[in-house]
Amino acid sequence: MSTHTNQQQRLILASSSPRRQELIQTLGLPYIIRVSDADETVEEKITPAQLVELLSLRKASMVREMLEAGEQHGIIIGSDTVVVYHNEVLGKPADEQDAFRMLQALQGNTHQVYSGIACIDAATGKQAVSHSVTDVKMKPMNDSQILRYIATGEPKDKAGSYAIQGIGATIVHAIEGDYFTVVGLPLSLLSDLLLQFDIEVL
């Protein structure tokens, strides 16, 4: 009986992100990683909140389709994060020039980070989706500081071209909201969603 409960309570993280993998460990629940190669292009005009929820759900759904017959138990977790400044969604930079453009726009200003989470029960298909938003105020930076930050390589695969949990912490002046939303996996929100599947983190 107890093994059945553990099977139900395992988490399946639909992400290759090392940051999300580190965060999922902190919940202390058994988990596995299944990377989704979900298409992240969205044609229609939707809000940032709708966007991160849609892509989170797409990632989790893709992993559910990929699971082998014997693996279909546990809660699949998909997550997506975007940076928004003046209603423009800033994804991962295309190249160093793109990273420079984003960081130059963000410096000295406040922007929003949206992180979506989708949970899907692998066995039943039951879904729970939500998102959270955090305000981030960047320090004023000159061009040479921005270029030095880009030279660290950290902005390369990050939404908005910075990582708050890395050396990017030194260019953030303040945040208002949930820190983990900015990192890319809001743990407080995730624990609330898992309650809908009878999984209590605490």
List active site positions.
80
The most distant pair of C-alpha atoms in the chain lies apart, rounded to whole Å, by 61
> Cα dihedral angle (24, 27, 29, 34), rounded to 10 degrees?
-10
d(CA 98, CA 64): 34
Determine the residue type at 55: L
129 and 56 in contact (C-beta within 8 Å)? yes
Determine the residue type at 23: L
Compute and round to an integer the Cα radius of gyration of the chain. 18
Angle between helices 96-106 and 143-151 (to 10 degrees): 130
The per-residue DSSP string of 121-161 comes to ETTT--EEEEEEEEEEEEPP--HHHHHHHHHTTGGGGSGGG
